[in-house]
């Protein structure tokens, strides 16, 4: 699988990147063989963490679409009563030969759904139909808590914590007192950092962000990614690179509230686009689908003032989930969106 060259956090020298990449692949493969012998039949579980809108679902969808011959089970947790992320990957199950997909809805897995998560992992592991399990955590879940649950689940072993960070927004997120603690925490507990959306920034910015991540989490490898593409051998072997993390459970550093707009539409695409050009300042994230007067369906994804709208594949329920930093803020945003019609 081709893609951008990796950077090593804290060691951004361009001339050494290719050698570091090849060495990492070789050492991970060797370590994985030793680890498999040591842990017996336990199924490796990877936690895919990252702040709201960082690109976790895109990474997961790409992994399921190109699983490199692996049978991968996906556990998807999203905040809010409608699990948009789980719906977004559902259509890939047949094509990617990954029949196992489990939703954990209406709560953050590091809090209310811990018991459900442990039970789900144990069921998937005992079924014997998966080579690996990937859990996509909600944008504000504490990955250390999830890692502890995985380690305690029968038949499971933590394969790694992978943090996905947005190359376009990371600098501003780290400078925002509302978001910085959550973003720092996710990077700090990770074994591997995926720098997503690097096609939206220049090479100098990528190297600068790699150095910044190196300051936050020394020794982590930073792998740039475009459209969520990353070699499964790296994504599913993150823990084998030798990095460690503090497994203490923490409180949510960023409180969020959600609102659901359903049915969403029918609206003209240009009308929705104008709304997202100047969204409420307190709106952090929006995702879902809306219908248009001609009966078609479009997907919308928004992070702050960055957004995209594109035709959706197949018929989908028109619903949009809004995520903000207060209930009052998302309620106002939802009311404004409903009034588009």
DSSP conformation letters of 79-133: SSSS-HHHHHHHTTTTTTT---EEEE-SS-TTTTTHHHHHHHHHHHHHHT--SEE
264-277 pLDDT, tens digit per residue, is 999 999 999 999 88
| DSSP reduced 3-state for 212 | helix
Q: Which residues contact 203 (CB under 8 A, 6 or more apart)?
A: none
86-101 pLDDT, tens digit per residue, is 454 444 332 233 334 4
Distance between terminal CA atoms of the chain? Answer: 44
Using the 8-state DSSP alphabet, how is residue 42 labeled?
Answer: P
Using the 8-state DSSP alphabet, how is residue 340 labeled?
Answer: T
Q: Is the pTM of this model over 0.75?
A: no
54-110 pLDDT, tens digit per residue, is 888 889 888 888 887 888 888 876 544 444 444 544 443 322 333 344 444 444 444
Please calculate the CA angle 107-52-218 and round it to the nearest 5 degrees. Answer: 110
Using the 8-state DSSP alphabet, how is residue 191 labeled?
Answer: S
Q: What is the structure's pLDDT at 299?
A: 87
Q: What is the structure's pLDDT at 280?
A: 79
Across all residues in the chain, what is the average pLDDT?
Answer: 74
What's the token pair of residue 212? 């910044």
What's the token pair of residue 32? 């994985």
Q: What is the rounded CA–CA span in Å between residue 318 and residue 83? A: 13
User: Do residues 260 and 287 touch, judged by C-beta distance below 8 A?
Assistant: no
Classify strands 101-104 and 156-166 as parallel, antiparallel or unpaired.
unpaired
Count of CB atoms situated within 10 Å of the CB of 144: 21
224-243 pLDDT, tens digit per residue, is 888 888 878 778 866 554 44
Q: What average pLDDT does range 127-144 have in this prediction? A: 84
Classify strands 297-303 and 283-291 as parallel, antiparallel or unpaired.
antiparallel
Which residue ranges form the domains of the chain, and what is each CATH number?
7-241 (3.40.50.300), 257-338 (3.30.1220.10)
Q: What is the rounded CA–CA span in Å between residue 311 and residue 168? A: 24
Classify strands 221-224 and 192-196 as parallel, antiparallel or unpaired.
parallel
């Amino acid at each position: 699988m081709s893609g951008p060259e990796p950077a090593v956090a804290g060691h951004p020298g361009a001339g050494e990147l290719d050698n570091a990449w090849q060495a990492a692949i070789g050492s991970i493969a060797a370590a994985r063989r030793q680890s498999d012998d040591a842990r017996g039949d336990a199924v490796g579980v990877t936690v895919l963490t990252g702040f709201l809108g960082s690109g976790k679902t895109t990474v997961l969808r790409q992994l399921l679409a190109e699983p490199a011959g692996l049978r991968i089970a996906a556990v998807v947790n999203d905040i809010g009563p409608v699990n948009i992320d789980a719906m977004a990957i559902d259509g890939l199950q047949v094509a990617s030969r990954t029949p196992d997909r489990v939703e954990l809805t209406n709560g953050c897995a590091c809090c209310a759904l811990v018991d459900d998560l442990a039970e789900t992992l144990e069921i998937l592991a005992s079924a014997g139909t998966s080579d690996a399990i990937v859990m996509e955590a909600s944008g504000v879940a504490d990955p250390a808590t999830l890692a502890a649950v995985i380690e305690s689940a029968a038949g499971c072993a933590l394969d790694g914590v992978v943090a996905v960070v947005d190359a376009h927004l990371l600098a501003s997120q780290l400078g925002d007192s509302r978001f910085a603690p959550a973003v720092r925490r996710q990077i700090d507990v990770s074994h591997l950092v995926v720098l997503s959306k690097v096609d939206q920034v220049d090479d100098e910015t990528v190297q600068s962000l790699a150095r910044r991540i190196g300051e936050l989490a020394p020794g982590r490898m930073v792998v740039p990614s475009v459209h969520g593409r990353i070699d499964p051998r790296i994504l599913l072997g993150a823990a084998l690179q030798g990095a460690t993390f503090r497994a203490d459970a923490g409180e949510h550093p960023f409180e969020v509230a959600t609102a659901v707009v359903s049915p969403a539409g029918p609206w003209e695409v240009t009308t929705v686009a104008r709304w997202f050009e100047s969204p409420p300042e307190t709106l952090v994230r929006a995702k879902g689908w809306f219908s248009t007067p001609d009966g078609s369906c479009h997907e919308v994804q928004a992070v702050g003032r960055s957004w995209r709208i594109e035709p959706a594949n197949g018929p989908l329920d028109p619903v949009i989930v809004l995520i903000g930093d207060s209930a009052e803020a998302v309620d106002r945003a939802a009311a404004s969106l409903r009034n588009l019609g």
